[in-house]
Amino acid sequence: MEADEDPRVVEALAELQLYLSDAIAPLVVTDSIATVLTVPPSRVAQEVLSWTASQHRRLGGSVPISDYLYHAVRKLYVMGELNLVQKTAMVAYLESLNAYLLEFCPDEDRELLRQNLASLGEVRSDLAAPVLDVQGVHGGEVAAALQDRSGGGKVTINTERRFAQLVERLARLPLPAATAATEGPGGGRGDVASQLLSVAARNSADAEEFQQYKESLRGAGLGSTMEEVFRSLSRRLPGWVLPEVPGGVGRTAVPTTKTAQAMERMVTLEQDPHEAAHRFQELVQAAIEQHNEGFVARAVTMLELAGALVAEKKVDPAYVQSFREQAHEKLDQQRLRELAEDPGSYPLLRRVLAFFPALQPDGLLRALQTEEKRDQRRLLLELLEVHGAPARALAAERLTTSIAGFGDRDAHFQRNLLHILRRIPRPDEVVADTELQTAVQLSAIGHPALLAKEAIAYLGQTRDERAERALISRVAEYEAALVRPAAPGDDRSDLVVMLDRAVFALARLGTPAAVRAVVHHGLKRLPQLGNTAARLTALAGLDLSADAETVDQLVEAIRGEFPHRIFGFTLKKDASVLLALIEAVSSTPAPAVKNVLADIVQRFPGEAFTQAAAKALAGTELPAPPPQPAPPPTTGASLSGDLELFGLPTLLQNLSQSGTSGTLTITDPVGEELATVELEGGKFRACRAGHLHDEVALFQLIERPTPASFSFLSRVEPAPPADPGRLRDLVPLFFEGTRRYDEFQQAAALVPDYACLRATATRPTPPPEEDDRALLKTVWQRASSGAAALECEAGLPVDSFRVRRMLAHWVEEGSLEPR
């Protein structure tokens, strides 16, 4: 080092060596390379030779010196290619530098170096070459050695170019970033910032390099805290989730979007377990915020990512377990209640609950056992209902254990367990014997009233002869207990309530034996039993015509309650009994019932019970509706709702799993049809969206989600036969659609909808995987003539992704530039 050398030059040359060793990214070293261009080429040549000697000693002498020298020149040349420094200035500087390097190169390698340097300008910028991939005869050996030393995933030239161009675009967009972060898609500041962070995270070799990327963006107004980074990226996730892996935990069936991959990388970049745990917590906190704001699908994506990080031991469970056990407390309780009350939200909500141990069935049941607040117990029960069959099975097991271990001392918890068994349908493969026997046992006299009431309710919705027999026995037991003389101070109000519940449970069963038991009880006139006649109203809505004996009993009882006239005076009875009897037969169109009701209307005008009789008579004598034309055989039940709530992939996945056939129609907020999707036996048959058809139309709907409503009209009979080859499984289409959505978002951040471009002197090349020459020509002509990106897509038989990918590729390679 020269004694009077500028400290800035010393620092720049030191960073040059790090850059040549691939220790720092091109964007980070931009200022230093600009300083290097002010240093005499002879001085820089000395630094390159020093670096070459160091590498040669470290990696061995099997690689020619010329390869190291060419690698250094190429690394500098890339800085100009990426427009990180002025390209013309770099080219001019390298002409002088090359002369020194050729002079210092060994004679036997000098001609090889001269040839390589002469071809430097022919390097394709779209080659996926690591920055340490030395272009020479033995370049692969050097690259492999250096790659093994650094151990990182290397940044391609295309990646650096895109990053630099996104930085430039971000700088042109207005501040503040805080408000722009909430903008919608289309290349706004929030989109560009998110893409920058995503690229930086996915391509950083370690946490330090990622921090350098973030520091370089601070001047553009981008938030620098990791909390803000996760929050920003979370807003750019799609509003749907892909199907879960069957039997898997915390992972979808395919890799996540690049935005989610960037989030994962931000956690795993940290080598310190404490720091990795901190990043993990920030990821989960961002997911919780998305849930609380109503974006449940985004929360699912992030929480399942977090769960996979734990399951795959990419974060140390010891550092995150305590946080994970308490993180559920930050979930908005009202939002949870709203979702738990909507069965349509169950599939997504289950995936949210699965991340938090306290909100899994075992954790919820443990909380339920000790929770004292009524509204909180209700929420816990609703969340258990969301879990469905697993929660029911665990509740049945806990109920058996609790009764065996605690008897009735845990009555409140046992009551809630019975409530869960009643609310969650019993799977067909589950035998009811044990829980039915338990309910029968708990419904007996002597158990706490709150427990017996729930057991009776359970029996009342169990279609089983044992439940019917048990309820009939309970009615008889309660009656017997009530008619016995009461002991001083004996409060029998609970027994009356239990009798009420048992009679209504029998009526709910609706079997002939159950109905006869209800009528037999209701016609009793024992004041100790309470208002037995009022309990007959539980039969309203049942057609009793099949049981002539029961109908005759009720008709006779109705006539027995008619007012009597003696010596011109009318002796009225308690009208409430007659009203209850009329209601009991109000849905029974038997002739005897019609006759007695007509008799009431004729004989007792003006009475309140007469109005009830007339109403019931009208219901039993409704004329048969006129014959209607049979509905078309192609129509069936309809389903409708808000598409934004479900997300198109989630909605179609649910329809597919049911194996249904029909047409899904998507309409905009004013009712105009946007698209239709046809399913056949749960498989994709066809799709139309504007001028697009079939798979392309489906991809377009996924790539450009918009506020819309949907209605699904199922089809009972099959549509005209289709070519079996045209019927496709939906899941692979969702995966491809999600990939296109993700890449479209990246391209749209660089080239938004209304961006206008112009051609440069650089010759355009086709993007990878695009071989439609006619399409390439059409899009190029439109773009180079100044049409906006959205106009370049108009009328073409392809989805937005393919067009925008072309435009972004041409901007990256420099054949197009913003106007």
Q: What is the pLDDT of residue 202?
A: 80
| pLDDT at 613 (0 to 100) | 86
Q: How many CB atoms lie within 10 A of CB 107?
A: 6
Question: From the first residue on, what is the mean pLDDT of each consecutive set of 10 residues in the chain (819 residues)?
Answer: 70 85 74 89 88 72 77 86 83 89 84 81 40 36 35 49 70 52 51 76 78 70 74 85 58 64 89 91 95 92 92 90 93 94 89 96 95 93 96 94 85 94 89 88 90 93 91 93 79 87 93 93 90 91 91 90 63 77 90 90 84 82 51 54 78 82 90 91 91 93 89 73 72 87 87 89 87 92 92 93 92 85
Cα end-to-end distance, the chain, whole Å = 46
Place of tokens 């190169």: 105
| Cis, peptide link before residue 623, omega less than 30° from 0 | no
* Cα Dmax for the chain: 143
CA 214 to chain CA centroid, Å, is 29
pLDDT at 774: 93
Phi, psi of 43 (to 5 degrees): -70, -40
Q: What is the pTM of this model?
A: 0.73
Which phi-psi region, left, alpha or beta, contains residue 83 (left: φ > 0; alpha: ψ -120 to 50)?
left
Q: What is the SS3 assignment for 687?
A: strand
> H/E element holding 665?
strand 662-667
Q: What is the pLDDT of residue 329?
A: 95
pLDDT at 608: 82
Per DSSP, helices labelled H in 341-410 are: 346-353, 361-370, 374-387, 389-406
Torsion of CA 505, 507, 508, 512, to 10 degrees: 120
Q: What is the pLDDT of residue 108?
A: 79
CA dihedral 808, 812, 816, 819 (to 10 degrees): 80
